[in-house]
């Protein structure tokens, strides 16, 4: 009597490529929102250095899809301004 092997448990590296990209895009959006929020809060608390640092980080994250086209969200129109 042969024992059947149970179904293998998929590892995180077995995710389909489009699923990985969706997770990466979500993480980039989350970091972008976090950086802008911290920059605004730092401005309101008059912490100028922190506000400037997080503002620069936010701007760099906004430019990431230009350097890495895979980060471009297909739902966003390519000609639409992302600063609004």
Has residue 36 been placed in a domain?
A: yes
Has residue 81 been placed in a domain?
A: no
Has residue 79 been placed in a domain?
A: no
Tens digit of each residue's pLDDT (9 = 90 or more) over 22-56: 888 899 889 999 999 999 999 999 999 999 999 99
**Residue 84 binned pLDDT confidence (cut-offs 50, 70, 90):** very low
When divided into structural domains, the chain yields a total of: 1
- Write out the two tokens for 20: 């990985």
Has residue 7 been placed in a domain?
A: no
> How far apart are the C-alpha atoms of 43 and 55, rounded to whole Å?
10
- Write out the two tokens for 28: 């980039």
Has residue 71 been placed in a domain?
A: no
Tens digit of each residue's pLDDT (9 = 90 or more) over 66-81: 887 877 777 665 665 5
The domain containing residue 34 runs over which residues? 16-65
Has residue 70 been placed in a domain?
A: no
> How far apart are the C-alpha atoms of 71 and 58, rounded to whole Å?
15
> How far apart are the C-alpha atoms of 82 and 32, rounded to whole Å?
11
Has residue 27 been placed in a domain?
A: yes
pTM: 0.64
Helices (H), the chain: 17-44, 48-67
């Amino acid at each position: 009597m042969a024992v059947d092997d149970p179904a293998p448990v998929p590892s995180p590296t077995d995710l389909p490529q489009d699923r990985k990209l969706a997770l990466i895009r979500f993480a980039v959006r989350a970091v972008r929102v976090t950086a802008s929020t911290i920059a605004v809060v730092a401005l309101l608390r008059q912490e100028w250095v922190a506000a400037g640092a997080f503002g620069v980080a936010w701007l760099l994250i906004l430019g990431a899809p230009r350097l890495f086209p895979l980060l471009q969200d297909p739902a966003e129109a390519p000609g639409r301004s992302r600063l609004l």
